[in-house]
């Protein structure tokens, strides 16, 4: 239990059934050594709320400190990826490595809980009841969290329960109010708590990654427009905020080998779009049974997402001989970043995920790339005599 409304209601729903329940609150970030405070991660408040809800439900609870495991298995590897210029998803790896990893590993040894005990969370997701467990999207499509759970192993899924997956968020809040759970009006949690205020992500990473300056280059003219302090300070698709330019410039690529950030004018330049992606390091939830048809030349029809907050994309999926997977979108998509997790679904069934290596606009759809490039170049140099 996290101290939020979702896991409180998950516990309440299980308490109404015939389970022998025990709650665990996990602490996974320790900032006291650096700043003397836990600002941003108000874990004490969360822990108090977990205890309060457990008193209301009459179930035991305990805290487990996994901050060392989180640092070693999620944060440190993510730092190395940010430093190298790609964009990792620590929230996806936290589920695999910490909640359904370190935490599950600890339980049988630290408590008298049998191996076959269930492990329940307040995620918005469902599980099928067939002979093999399938991870299914939540009933509340806006809240569905299967993207974050797409890296789980089948063994972890076997032990998982998602009690709130059949409810909408308003229904979950209503249950919490009806049963006087102190967390009923708790606001939504906002991603990585330890980063603190929204928009301060760069400042946060600056504390951990030494600066590595390099040029910001105009893809159209090859001119240097400014300097970045490290590839991690920009994400593909974002406004590069270069002053003195006739148009807003957006990051379309990073050249990791040469430590360069490339920008293009406007939000809609063709270099910002991708028609296909290549992804590596596939983790299929049914590890022995990747999607049928994926190794055929024609591939198989599935749906993909490479960010939690995006609609899923109809696509054709093919596996290469080296195990990497090529996902070709029916319609091009913007802002594909290497390092991000891409997950696949067959209708509601989440199959697994891989890590994006590259996005390609090949062949460019809906626009003639050469013409567009020339037009943009001409228009751009006319508007900008001295870029
Ligand atoms: N610190 C924690 N200790 C134990 N379990 C946690 C913790 N953080 C998250 N979880 C579990 O993972 C689930 C999903 O976590 P997430 O961070 O996405 O929170 P959420 O969707 O806002 O849910 P909640 O409202 O319960 O915080 C939680 O419902 C809870 O079961």
Domain ranges across the chain: 5-199, 211-269+368-383, 271-360
- Shortest-distance atom of ligand 1 to CA 121: 31
Tell me if residue 193 is catalytic. Answer: yes
Euclidean distance between CA atoms 336 and 300, whole angstroms: 21
7 C-alpha to ligand 1 centroid (Å): 6
Q: Pairing between strand 61-65 and 23-27?
A: parallel
Q: What is the CATH number that goes with domain 211-269+368-383?
A: 2.30.30.280
Pocket of ligand 1 from Cβ distances under 6 Å: 1-2, 4-7, 24-26, 99, 121-123, 188-189
159-209 pLDDT, tens digit per residue, is 999 999 999 999 999 999 999 999 999 988 766 655 655 557 788 888 899
Question: Is the pLDDT assigned to residue 129 strictly greater than 50?
Answer: yes
Please report the ipTM that was assigned to this predicted complex. Answer: 0.96
Please state the pTM of the whole predicted model.
0.89
Domain 5-199 has CATH 3.40.50.620: yes
Residue appearing with tokens 């022995």: 288
Cα(140) to centroid(ligand 1), Å: 17
Among 3, 6, 193, the mutation site with the greatest number of ligand 1 atoms within 8 A of its Cβ is 6
pLDDT band at 239 (very low <50, low <70, confident <90, very high): very high
| Residue 72, preceding peptide bond in cis (omega within 30° of 0) | no
**Is residue 353 annotated as a catalytic residue, yes or no?**
no
364 secondary structure, DSSP code: P
Catalytic residue among 94, 315, 350, 353: 94
The CATH fold of domain 271-360: Elongation Factor Tu (Ef-tu); domain 3 (2.40.30)
Give pLDDT, residue 382.
41
188 C-alpha to ligand 1 centroid (Å): 10
What are the backbone angles phi and psi of residue 217, rounded to the nearest 5°? -115, 140
């Amino acid at each position: 239990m996290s101290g939020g409304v979702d896991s409180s209601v998950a516990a309440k729903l299980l308490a109404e059934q015939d389970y022998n329940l025990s709650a665990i609150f996990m602490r996974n970030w320790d900032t006291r050594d650096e700043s003397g405070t836990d600002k941003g991660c108000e874990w004490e408040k969360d822990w108090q709320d977990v205890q309060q809800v457990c008193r209301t439900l009459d179930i035991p609870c305990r805290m487990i400190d996994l901050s060392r495991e989180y640092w070693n298995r999620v944060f440190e590897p993510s730092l190395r990826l940010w430093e190298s210029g790609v964009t990792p998803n620590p929230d996806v790896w936290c589920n695999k490595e910490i909640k359904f990893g370190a935490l599950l590993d600890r339980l049988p040894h630290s408590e008298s809980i049998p191996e076959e005990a269930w492990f329940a969370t307040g995620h918005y997701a469902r599980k099928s009841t067939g002979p093999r467990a399938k991870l299914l999207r939540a009933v509340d499509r806006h809240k569905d969290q299967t993207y974050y759970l797409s890296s789980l192993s089948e063994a972890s899924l076997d032990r998982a329960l998602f009690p709130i997956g059949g409810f909408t968020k308003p229904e979950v809040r209503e249950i919490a109010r009806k049963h006087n759970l102190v967390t009923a009006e708790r606001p939504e949690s906002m991603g990585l708590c330890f980063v603190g205020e929204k928009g301060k992500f760069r400042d946060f990473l600056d504390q951990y990654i030494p600066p590595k300056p390099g040029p910001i280059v105009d893809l159209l003219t090859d001119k240097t427009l400014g300097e970045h302090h490290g590839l991690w300070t920009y994400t593909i698709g974002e406004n590069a905020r270069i002053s003195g330019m006739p148009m807003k410039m957006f990051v379309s690529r990073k050249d990791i080998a040469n430590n360069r950030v490339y920008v293009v004018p406007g939000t809609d330049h063709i270099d910002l779009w991708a028609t296909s992606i290549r992804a590596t390091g596939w983790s299929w939830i049914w590890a022995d049974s990747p999607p049928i048809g994926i190794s055929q030349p024609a591939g198989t029809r599935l749906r993909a997402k490479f960010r939690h907050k995006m609609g899923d994309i109809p696509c054709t999926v093919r596996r290469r001989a080296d195990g990497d997977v090529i996902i070709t979108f029916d319609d091009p998509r913007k802002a594909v970043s290497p390092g991000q997790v891409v997950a696949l679904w067959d209708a509601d069934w989440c199959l697994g995920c891989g890590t994006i290596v590259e996005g390609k606009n090949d062949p460019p759809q809906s626009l003639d790339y050469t013409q567009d490039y020339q037009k943009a170049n001409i228009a751009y140099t006319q508007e900008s005599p001295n870029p």
